[in-house]
Chains A and B, each alone.
Chain A
Amino acid sequence: MEENKNTPAAEESKAVPRRKGGLYARVNMSVKTANILVTVLIAAMIIVTVYIVNHNGFTVEFDTDGGSRIESVKVMHSETVPVTEEPVKEGFVFTGWYTDPDCTESFDIEEDPVTGSMTLYAGWEKEE
């Protein structure tokens, strides 16, 4: 830009400010006010985050597809699900827990660690 200072285009561009403020063009406050705003927002963010981290835990829900009801449990990261009771359903045999409703991805409730909130689906096989 500097080398063609004498062209009319460059001269005209001097008349308009180089930066217009973009999204903040209409912001009209002192730096002091902005400091207070930023401080308050940061404080709010930290308070919310600390609150959320203190109320942590993933919820594991159980969908027994008409079988006996199992209450959802709260589990921490990389722990296993602390549920040992198996659901029962008349006329069916329980085949294990699955992470999808179609019961294709099995989940070993005693071994597999939890890494997020999820719903486990009970697999059933018709009783002979």
Chain B
Amino acid sequence: MSAAIKRKGRLSARLDEFKAKSGADKRRAVVDLLFNNAMYIIIVIAIIYIAIQVPAFLSTSSIVNIISLTAAKLPIALGIGGAIVLTGTDISAGRCVGLTACISAALLQMTNYANKIFPDLEVMPLWIVLLIVIAVGAAVGLVNGFFVAKFKLHPFIVTLSTQLIVYGLILMFLMIGSNNGQTLSGLDSSYTDFVKGTLFRIDGVAVPKYVLYAVILTALMWLVWNKTKFGKNMFAVGSNEEAANVSGVNVFWTIVIVFVIAGAMYGITGFIEGARIASCSANTGLNYESDAIAACVIGGVSFVGGTGKISGIVIGVFLLQIIFVGLNFLSVDQNLLYVIKGMIILVACAIDMRKYLARK
């Protein structure tokens, strides 16, 4: 309640500020407002257009589908968000999700499934597998973070190389035993129930359990970003590394931990993704990082560094999934969707850059 009043107060204060401006300043303020929110305006227009063209787009099952997809893609964006706050990025994310998804699927196949990758393996307890994949993801993050922090290499280059290394590891992993690179399926029901089981139903449409896990992870990351010393240090390093250093922030460990947390997030995403898509191959997770980066930039996590909010990331992922699901309803082929995704990233970054120039 008090938050609503405060927001209203802020809004009217802004309005008064706007009224006090001269003609030219007023015009500039309007232009700024339009440019800075151009992406949101376009997305809202697109949603209205799609909803008119295909009414099924706003059906309960479609909305639950959008929310589920948002939940599935959220953890990876929360991880990458930290790297973007440091003015870097992480393009090894998708392959990391692929590797951890394959590991989870391999360790949790049904005991009586014919094409098991580890024929003699009993179904492992879920929490052990979860810890293993978090550790694998965090290990990749540690490598990323170490080279970025220690040798000041650009994250694009470091994560490009780990992306390739991890892809090689996926291919080798899928060649273990007699598997010969085949898709991993036939998952144990304890695993699929834990991830895809029904949380509750809206209008008879089942909401999967991983929505809850995404909510928990979001809350956790919100606490880390806003309530811990590490979070404050991360924003300080993102704003200006030298300034953070002279004011006593341990820059090295801040960068390393940002990447390790990101890696752990990819591990969790891989664990969820393995059960969600139920058949893991070398292509699982391909290009997931592009969606996550686009979502972060749309949500206001700036490449300027040191700015960004968890709520922005959630909104970014959500808006992007609405658009993708909407374009699917308009019968847009998956291949052509890549073209649109690429343009969205370019436009989002251009708007982000314009915001920086206008403030400077």
Q: Which residue of A lies closest to B327 (CB)?
A: A53
Q: Report whether B248 and A9 are in contact in the complex, using a CB–CB cutoff of 8 Å.
A: yes
User: Which of B240, B248, B304, B331 has a CB less than 8 Å from the CB of A58?
Assistant: B331
- In the complex, whether B347 has a CB less than 8 A from a CB of chain A is yes
Nearest-neighbour CB distance to chain A for B290, whole angstroms, equals: 15
A-B contact count (CB 8 A): 125
In the bound complex, residues from chain B placing their C-beta under 8 Å from that of A71 are none
- In the complex, identify which listed stretch (B140-148, B219-227, B348-356) lies at the interface while the others stay far away: B348-356
Q: Report whether A19 and B306 are in contact in the complex, using a CB–CB cutoff of 8 Å.
A: yes
User: Which of A35, A53, A117 has a CB less than 8 Å from the CB of B330?
Assistant: A53
- In the complex, whether A90 has a CB less than 8 A from a CB of chain B is no
Q: Report whether B329 and A77 are in contact in the complex, using a CB–CB cutoff of 8 Å.
A: yes
**From residue 25 to 68 of chain A, which have CB atoms closer than 8 A to chain B?**
27, 29-31, 34-35, 37-38, 41-42, 44-46, 48-49, 52-53, 55-59
- In the complex, identify which listed stretch (B162-170, B198-206, B252-260, B335-343) lies at the interface while the others stay far away: B335-343
- In the complex, whether B35 has a CB less than 8 A from a CB of chain A is yes
Nearest-neighbour CB distance to chain B for A107, whole angstroms, equals: 16
- In the complex, whether A84 has a CB less than 8 A from a CB of chain B is no
Q: Report whether B331 and A34 are in contact in the complex, using a CB–CB cutoff of 8 Å.
A: no
Q: Report whether B331 and A56 are in contact in the complex, using a CB–CB cutoff of 8 Å.
A: yes
Q: Report whether B357 and A42 are in contact in the complex, using a CB–CB cutoff of 8 Å.
A: no
Q: Report whether B305 and A19 are in contact in the complex, using a CB–CB cutoff of 8 Å.
A: yes
Nearest-neighbour CB distance to chain A for B254, whole angstroms, equals: 15
In the bound complex, residues from chain A placing their C-beta under 8 Å from that of B104 are none
- How far apart are the CA atoms of A16 and B246 in the complex, in Å? 10
- How far apart are the CA atoms of A29 and B306 in the complex, in Å? 22
- How far apart are the CA atoms of A19 and B114 in the complex, in Å? 58
- Binary interface encoding of chain B residues 232-250 relative to chain A, with 1 for a CB under 8 A from any of its CBs, else 0: 0000001110110011100
- How far apart are the CA atoms of A87 and B334 in the complex, in Å? 27
Interface contacts beyond A20-B305, A77-B331: sample of 15 additional A-B pairs, CB < 8 Å, sorted by A: A1-B247, A13-B240, A16-B246, A19-B239, A20-B240, A21-B360, A23-B304, A24-B303, A34-B354, A41-B350, A45-B346, A52-B336, A58-B331, A77-B330, A116-B328
